[in-house]
């Protein structure tokens, strides 16, 4: 287990961010009680996915996205790879032509949600408490809190973590994994499950690749080995370099109704 | 620490099977965890053990079947282990498009009841 919750202890906000707190443990249904009766030994073939409940909620979310003609994109990365910065840029670029909404998962704060506020773009912050990933039920509550009329593109920023978001289907149409040039080139080799499940991979912070001695070709090769199915977007969310191809990708998703 | 949540859904499923089977005790549980599922078998075990105290699964043997990561070549259909991620693609034909065939499993397979 490589993820560790971090807290930043910043104050509360008084603006238009919608808050969804899913950290209340009382929400969980109690374990079923038993009524013991003696019997003989039997083997029951169960063969059920352990994330069955999450999978079912994810399917319900997916059906809702389809009914509303929304394309949902789940953005996943380690902490600090640049998800929020990329979303800011993306909203600036696509905002005028595509109706967007944003769901941001975070352990404690609504910093990111406030950074993402734009006129006409509803933003909901999902505070996960101790959970190091978003799950389908949290997303269901998030979308219930958002005004989704007319929304074409729902951008979901997952909790910064390269491990568990791989296991939790949110009902998204596309899962996009972000790595940055400030991390090692071998990230995909260390966290294969997430990259295996990625529809696209973003290599962010190419503006500092050279300074950090980051070899983009080596990184590209590592991504292709684990995620041959995924197109790779090399860009800088800071300078905007390479952003066009990413925006074209999103535009195409929205146009064909992903 | 999401193994806790996964262990919780596993225990929930086990106890549900026990309740439906009107069992006094769960003797044995078999789960399948793929090498690419993102779940550490040891962390799962640890969480499962912590949760099942005072339940009918408290005394059960827990078998974890670890499923290795395998790939399937889209071009020639060959299946092979991908634990070391060979750079050349499919070892049989060299094809670059490889699908995940195994290793994503996260399942409760069997529950033995008495
Ligand atoms: N040099 C550089 N820094 C970036 C880039 N994108 C994000 N950052 C910085 O990386 C840090 C983390 O970014 P943030 O968007 O909050 O990452 P998140 O945790 O994935 O949401 C911030 O200081 C950003 O300014 C980039 O393309 N280039
Ligand atoms: Mg962020
Ligand atoms: Zn987690
Ligand atoms: Zn082949």
Which tens digits make up the pLDDT trace of A235-256? 999 999 999 999 999 999 999 8
The mean pLDDT of A118-122, rounded to a whole number, is 90
Distance, in angstroms, between A32 CA and closest chain B CA?
7
Buried b (16+ CB within 10 A) or exposed e, A117-141: beeeebbbbbbbeebbbbbbbbbbb
Q: What percent of chain A has pLDDT over 90?
A: 61
Name which of A44, A51, A228 is nearest B113 (Cβ-Cβ): A44
Highest mean predicted confidence (pLDDT) among A27-36, A153-162, B64-73, B88-97: A153-162
Distance, in angstroms, between A81 CA and closest chain B CA?
20
Q: What percent of chain B has pLDDT over 90?
A: 53
For residues A240, A245, A248 and A254, what is the CA-based torsion angle, rounded to 10 degrees?
-90
Going by CA atoms, what residue is nearest to atom 11 of ligand 1?
A: A80
Between the alpha carbon of residue B72 and those of residues A20, A197, B37, B76, B92, the distances in Å are 42, 15, 17, 9, 10
Which residue ranges make up each domain of chain B?
3-113
- Hey, what domains does chain A have and what are their CATH numbers? 69-255 (3.40.50.300)
Q: Which of B2, B22, B96, B111 to mutate to test the interface with A (most CBs of A within 10 A)?
A: B2
The answer to whether the CB of B21 falls within 8 A of the CB of B112 is no
The mean pLDDT of A134-144, rounded to a whole number, is 94
The answer to whether the CB of A137 falls within 8 A of the CB of A171 is no
- pTM reported for the whole predicted model: 0.80
Q: What percent of chain A has pLDDT over 70?
A: 86
Closest Cα in chain A to B33: A50
Spelled out in words, what is the top-level CATH class assigned to the domain B3-113?
A: alpha beta
Q: Which ligand is nearest to the CA of A162?
A: 3
Closest Cα in chain B to A226: B85
Cβ–Cβ below 8 Å for A131 and B113: no
What separation in Å is there between the alpha carbon of A165 and the centre of ligand 3? 6
Whether the pLDDT of residue A25 is over 70: the answer is: no
What's the complex ipTM?
0.84
Cβ–Cβ below 8 Å for B21 and A39: yes
Q: Classify the C-alpha dihedral A178-A181-A183-A185 as positive or negative.
A: positive
Closest Cα in chain B to A188: B85
Q: Which ligand is nearest to the CA of B94?
A: 4
């Amino acid at each position: 287990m490589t993820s560790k919750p971090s807290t930043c202890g910043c104050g509360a906000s008084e603006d238009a961010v919608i808050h969804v707190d899913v950290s209340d443990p009382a929400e969980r249904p109690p374990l079923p009680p038993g009524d013991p009766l003696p019997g003989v030994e039997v083997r029951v073939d169960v063969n059920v996915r352990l994330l069955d409940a999450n999978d079912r909620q994810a399917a319900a979310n997916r059906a809702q996205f389809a009914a509303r003609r929304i394309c949902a994109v789940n953005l996943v990365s380690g902490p600090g790879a640049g998800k929020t910065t990329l979303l800011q840029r993306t909203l600036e670029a696509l905002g005028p032509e595509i109706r967007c909404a944003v769901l941001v998962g975070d352990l404690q704060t609504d910093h990111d949600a406030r950074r993402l506020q734009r006129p006409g773009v509803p933003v909901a912050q999902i505070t996960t408490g101790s959970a190091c990933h978003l799950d389908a039920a949290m997303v269901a509550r998030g979308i219930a809190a958002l005004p989704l009329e007319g929304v074409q593109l729902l951008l979901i920023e997952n909790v910064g973590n390269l491990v568990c978001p791989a296991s939790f289907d949110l009902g998204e149409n596309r899962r996009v994994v972000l790595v940055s040039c400030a991390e090692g080139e071998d990230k995909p080799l260390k966290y294969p499950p997430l990259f295996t499940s990625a529809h696209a991979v973003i290599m962010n912070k190419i503006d500092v690749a050279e300074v950090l001695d980051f070899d983009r070709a080596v990184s590209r090769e590592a991504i292709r080995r684990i995620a041959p199915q995924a197109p790779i977007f090399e860009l800088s969310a800071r300078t905007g370099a390479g952003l066009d191809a990413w925006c074209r990708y999103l535009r195409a998703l929205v146009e064909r109704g992903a | 620490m999401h193994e806790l949540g996964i262990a919780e859904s596993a225990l929930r499923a086990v106890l549900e099977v026990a309740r439906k089977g009107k069992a006094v005790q769960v003797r044995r549980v078999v789960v399948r965890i793929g090498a690419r599922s993102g779940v550490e078998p040891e962390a799962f075990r640890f969480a499962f053990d912590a949760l099942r105290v005072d339940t009918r699964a408290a005394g059960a043997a827990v078998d974890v079947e670890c499923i290795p990561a395998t790939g399937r070549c889209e071009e020639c259909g060959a299946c092979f282990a991908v634990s070391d991620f060979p750079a050349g693609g499919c070892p049989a034909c060299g094809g670059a498009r490889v699908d995940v065939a195994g290793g994503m499993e996260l399942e409760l397979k069997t529950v033995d009841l008495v």
